[in-house]
Amino acid sequence: MKPLKDLFHRPLVFIEGKGGVGKTVITHAAAHALAKQKQKTLLVTIEDPHLDPGALVQITPHLWHLNCEAMTAFEEYAGIRIGIPALTRIFLRNKLMQYLAKAAPGVREIVLLGKIWHERKNYTHIVVDMPSTGYGITMFQSTRNFANLFKGGPIQKDALAMLETFDDPNSTAQIIVSLAEEMPLRESLELRDYLLDLFPSNAPGYLVNRRFPKSEIVSERQLKDSPVPQSASEYLAHRHSLEEQNLELWKSEKLAFAELPYIPPVLKNNFDHQVEMISSLLMEKGLL
């Protein structure tokens, strides 16, 4: 199993996992860390409703942020494939085409991934904040469905090329993020199985986020004698002990994983604070 440093430095990195495990912060932190190393980096979010659809914004001299949106990506793909601006406009104004772009099963997903895949030639690294587990899998599965359904033609050609890239360990990394809690850990194992079925040549990496520290003040005997925490130190010790038990789910599968510590929130600009802290930790721990 490759170390996370190898995975984070691949040209295309998908950050995966259950909602609420900290994927977005880690995606931003990884992208910022790569940009600090003067790597031309694209940070991608998928249809963030708080940002302009399809907006591409430069954040630092080496970092750009794309809010990937399906209709914008569909229009761009149509323009590339048709190649004639006037004919593209006629095509896109056709009501049937507009309906298909919105309603046809899998179109939304394949154009979103296709846009990300297409941008590889413009950046050294692309780091993608993937949707939560279910929809993230659907995006990749839709690409395989298109490759199987459309025999010949540009759609199948592009779908097959995308799948080849995603299955290539030199081109793409899948990094599964989880908390040290039973449900996200179990869901991560299911995600691993889906990804390995889709991309058998490209095993994912694993990262445990918000790991509580071990208390050096409270002993194991005290934990057994006091099942209900009586202080902040005892709470931390209980929490760490429970997380150790939960992580046996991954250890029993012989998964190698890295850990990031719990970072207490601050009153203002907490997201930016978390990104900066985790970006620094990723580099200090040699993970990026």
Give me the torsion for CA of 30, 208, 162, 82, rounded to 10°.
-50
Domain count, the chain: 1
Report the pLDDT value the prediction gives residue 214, as an integer from 0 to 100: 78
Q: Is residue 288 part of a domain?
A: no
Q: What's the pLDDT at 267?
A: 82
pTM above 0.75, yes or no: yes
pLDDT tens, 127-136? Answer: 999 998 888 8
Q: Which residues contact 19 (CB under 8 A, 6 or more apart)?
A: 132, 133
Is the alpha carbon torsion for 273, 275, 276, 281 positive or negative?
positive
* Pairing mode, strands 125-129 and 41-46: parallel
Tell me if 182 is assigned to some domain. Answer: yes
**Could you report the per-residue pLDDT of 98-114, keeping only the tens digit for each?**
555 554 557 778 888 98
CATH number of the domain that 266 lies in?
A: 3.40.50.300
Q: Is residue 150 part of a domain?
A: yes
> What are the backbone angles phi and psi of residue 57, rounded to the nearest 5°?
-125, 135
pLDDT surpassing 70 at residue 54: yes
Residue 221 lies in a domain: yes
157 lies in some domain: yes
Alpha carbons 230 and 156: distance in angstroms, whole number: 62
> Could you tell me the residue range of the domain that residue 229 belongs to?
4-281
Does 286 map to a domain? no
List pLDDT tens digits, range 259-270.
Answer: 999 998 898 889
**H-assigned helices in the chain:** 4-8, 23-36, 70-82, 85-93, 95-103, 107-118, 133-149, 154-166, 182-198, 220-225, 232-246, 248-251, 270-284
- Find out whether 285 and 258 touch, Cβ atoms under 8 Å: yes
**C-alpha dist (Å) from residue 27 to 31, 126, 149, 192, 231:** 6, 10, 33, 19, 34
What per-residue confidence (pLDDT) applies to 227? 60
pLDDT score of 53 more than 80: yes
Q: Which residue has the higher pLDDT, 115 or 172?
A: 172
